[in-house]
Amino acid sequence: MPGRVEVHNVDSQLLDGNPLGDATRRRVPVYLPPGYDDGHMDYAVLYALAGFTGTGMSYLNYDWYQENLPDRLDRLIEAEGMTPVIVVMVDGMTRVGGNQYIDSPAAGPWASHVIQELVPWAESTFRIRAGRDHRGVFGKSSGGYGSMMMALEHSDVFAAAASHSGDAYFQYCYEGDFPKAADGLRSVGGLDAFMKQLREYPKFPGKLFHTLNIVAMSHFYSPNDDAPHRFDLPFDEATGERREDVIARWRERDPVNLVQRYADDLQSLKLLWIECGSRDEWHLHHGGRILSARLTAAGVAHVHQEFDDDHRSLNYRYDETLPRLAAAIQ
């Protein structure tokens, strides 16, 4: 018998008044494993963080070639012997297209929303084994970054984490797109016009994706309450010249630069998994290698894998990581 999904509306007090005007009522799908309705046992829980332009509901999408997350979990549990777990699919969608799952005064207290609101809500609503040792987190791309940041900064909340093609080593994955973002802003009349028009297109222009990405990341990495939109761009809008002071603030949020600070906390993790395709278009395989090397130098146990693929359609990788995460948090 397969598991099932419930979609819940979760009201957030922490997100009330957030600068982007994003809804405080979040749609959160929750996967309940086979046997949940027939028994009384409690389950460990995984929190799924979607990538940029995705959200919790995205995990339910039909794909002609790959299973969605609930179908994959059903197969892994029923046919492959994965330990049953509950999975909470976080709704992190924002006006700027997604989330890095860290607190930012320019975007909202998103890490706090997950930790202080979703975790207690889930544990009071479902039969979840309470406590940090029975919680894990995973995600891809921006979700992988969020998972890694949860491991770094909130190892007291999560005991296991998997970063699939997560953002790391910002010099490679972001900084090459600064000129493209500057050109995109100029093409629409500047940052003010871009922010005003952002949700008015009938279809978001693909040529502006790099602009959207850098603007969104600026909300999370370089917030500034005194700036017109409460964040600083990493380049001069008029000339495109790099703003090294702002870029330095971005690098402070780069996982590769945080390992040493949180090395002792990371030692407590039951599992830390980092992986990336060796042909990643955002050069994140380099970030994964650097992150792994710094973890090794700090004496932090982890798994680092590369595989022959790019950044797209990587859900098949969950076949390996989800059973490992589930086993680690029992």
**pLDDT tens, position by position, for the chain (330 residues)?**
899 999 999 999 999 999 999 999 999 999 999 999 998 999 999 999 999 999 999 999 999 999 999 999 999 999 999 999 999 999 999 999 999 999 999 999 999 999 999 999 999 999 999 999 999 999 999 999 999 999 999 999 999 999 999 999 999 999 999 999 999 999 999 999 999 999 999 999 999 999 999 999 999 999 999 999 999 999 999 999 999 999 999 999 999 999 999 999 999 999 999 999 999 999 999 999 999 999 999 999 999 999 999 999 999 999 999 999 999 999
CA-CA distance, 300 to 258, in Å (whole number)? Answer: 13
**3-state DSSP assignment of residue 148:** helix
For residue 104, the surrounding DSSP H or E stretch is strand 103-104
Radius of gyration of the chain (CA): 19
**Contact, 94 vs 107, CB < 8 A?**
yes
Domain ranges of the chain: 4-168+255-328, 172-251
- Global pTM reads 0.98
First CA to last CA across the chain, in angstroms?
Answer: 22
CA-CA distance, 151 to 133, in Å (whole number)? Answer: 13
CA-CA distance, 186 to 301, in Å (whole number)? Answer: 46
Specify the CATH class of 4-168+255-328 in words: alpha beta
How many other C-beta atoms can be found within 10 angstroms of the C-beta atom of residue 191? 20
Write out the two tokens for 197.
Answer: 């028009």
CA-CA distance, 93 to 104, in Å (whole number)? Answer: 14
